[in-house]
Structure 1
Amino acid sequence: MDFQVVVLAGGTSEKLSPLVSKDVPKALLPVANRPVLSYVLDLLEASDLKDIIVVVEGQEAARLVGAWASSAYLDRLLVEVVAVPEDIGTAGALRAISRRLTANDVLVISGDLVTDVLPGSVAATHRRNGAAVTALLCSVPVSGPSDAASSGGKDKAKKPARLNIVGLDITRQFLLHIVSGTDVEKDVRVNKKKVRAVGEMEIRSDLMDAHLYAFKRTTLQDILEEKEAYRSIRLEVLPYLVRSQLRSSPSSGEGTTADEIGNATVPFNSHLQYLSQHRILAPSAFKKDLLSTGGTYRCCVYIASKNKYCHRLNSIQAYCDINRDVVGDASHLSSYSFSAQNNIIHPSSVLGSKTTIGPQCMLAEGSQLGDKCSVKRSVIGRHCRIGSNVKVIFHDATLLASYFHLLSLEIKVTFWFEFFYSIIFLCYTCYRLSTLL
């Protein structure tokens, strides 16, 4: 399969501060004691996609990621780690390495994506439809869409504040409309020209843009060169391609404006299906018209089934959720062997007298727990030392373990905090005290 893969691995994201630092870039942040980037690289290897460029923001972060990748994937993948300037956005990162892209098609994937959807399936759909871009859409996680980047709140039933609104043709192959995050208003405005062309459009708010795209290389390079101000793939490049689908000449500016043809306003409602009042076309009519039109972008989607796991590590809350899931309901992603008690305890770890490790927990190598400790649904990092009479009872206790792993602290207190942020505050206070002492 003639594909190049670009993994956008970020650098030291402020959303994950102080978990990430100059010593631990985002790509190496441990998820169930494996760097988050390893989940993406393992998926690519499973899809036989081995020509990979990993783009990292900052020279030092790129050096650390390169050293890890060259050791972990020696003789397995051809991984080239490229450093780009910080804060140039996802489109800017692609623009910086554009000349390195030579294959007919390019697969672009976020380095913080944890999923069991094979990238090869998206690539195959892209080739089959002859598309300019194919985007992976997944069901919104129960804790809310990753794009919300919320770092607080435990109410899983609470409706997320930001939504992705997508419009699909009735075959659910073509992406006709997309509005992301803060752009979402009370009403959904749909271009009438699209409605007339497709006859029927399904408007949905239960799908998440997973930040995995297959692009036709020449199309991607042309847009990056023409639209120098574009910084985001999700917010600018993809919507531009979607808007350009039904224009006779997509390269000639913005084409027909909404004012010339009007907008159809659809009251917002999840899973709303909007039927055109103009004319109804057979499901194949739009596809036939689109594929036969020269000089037109074709924007397609690959919609993952609801039983697939898909989450992005782009907030502290997401970090907690993913760690919990990977040793819990999504344990097939971890590649670890679980014990009869449904947990993972490394042979080198030391447990004190009457210490219990519950199901869906992980205790990494070199960790030590004192007497009468209790751990429930938590991930404890490498070489943590925890004193006696400590109860780790929070779903979000992964952060606690991560801090111990990074700071090598030994504590002998009992944790009875009610809120997740109390843990963060305590750990950060300990860190500041240790630097002063």
Structure 2
Amino acid sequence: MAMKVALLGCGVVGAEVMRLVDRQASELAARVGAPLEIGGIAVRRLGRDRGTGVDPELFTTDATELVTRPDIDLVVEVIGGIEPARSLILEAVKAGKSVVTANKALLAEDGATLLAAARESGVDVYYEAAVAGAIPLLRPLRDSLAGDRVHRVLGIVNGTTNFILDRMDTQGAGFAESLEEAQTLGYAEADPTADVEGFDAAAKAAILARLAFHTQNVTAADVHREGITEVSSGDIASAKAMGCVVKLLAICQRAEDGASVGVRVHPVMLPREHPLAAVTEAYNAVFVEAESAGRLMFYGPGAGGSPTASAVLGDLVAVARNRLARTSVGEGTHDTGLPVHAMGKTVTRYHISLDVADRPGVLARVAEVFAQMGVSIKNVRQEGSGEDAQLVLVSHTAPDAALSETVERLRGLDMVRSVASVMRVEAFAEDA
């Protein structure tokens, strides 16, 4: 007997899922142990052209009725957003249906509620497609590394921003020019705010942190977020001079004492020898540093209809097998309870570029400010230009609050014309 699937949403991803279920019907049946059949498709409006070969009787605007129908076994949610997606998923699991979703925003805001409801009903909620598209990442974090201690996760999890920064680095293009090219190629939306301001990456960072550190205490609101709109050609050039490249990273890191975690999204200068530095174009990659497994890298296309649909289908096969076996495989009920510490307590490094008066004693006065804040200087470079000079400093690791206060005090020095640039620097954990 076929297992019937309710599809919520028929946009780019939903249409591709529908196409793959039909085209790969025999292979999916062999992998699952029973045929998969689309039992209904919930859309906002009827009458739109959804392509050839689709039975118009499958479409409905009553999504609640669809997910609670007795003949529906599984639900795939690809409509996005918080509501009505949250209510529909909760209705589905209450009715005993396992759910596959690609909804990163909802999972980052209220994933704990959805997973708790699924455990109570004895069904699954799988969401591999919510982070990094087709890259098999979340299940390895949840299952394969369940017996290990993850120290840090660094990820390029937004293809749009990676494309823009790559163009700025390799072609010398400006931010606006690179964004326009990304929009022309379909990598960026007409309104790119969610990407370039880091909201998309922050939602994914929250999901990664929850899985990596087994804590339910992380939501998107807990993630320190900075976008790439302020990254300048000067920042790119400074990074090159240091042998670095600028990337927007999602960084999830266990505190040294193990009592809390830091979760942040912001541009960083990354050494070119780091594997993430070689990730170009609109690709995604996630680098994991674990106690026993060591360094692991997950790489591939992170967005688009086909990669996302591939991840959805993988989850669909998994939850269908579980349903046939009359079991569910949740994330477990153990919660470490690790809180998220404030950005000010995060240990990092700063690259600071100052426009200063070119006169004796400037460097000594600047160094004094660093010393007053307990921050040591790793290296310094000075270039003169008439009566002015550019002073570039890279700090050793220190709490972000101390580094930030150092920058504010530098702004107040009479010999500092301006703080031209401030950017954090990341490396391998032992080099930080």
Q: Where on the TM-score scale, by shorter chain, does this alignment land: which range?
A: under 0.3
Q: Output the TM-score relative to the length of structure 1.
A: 0.27
Bigger helix share: 2
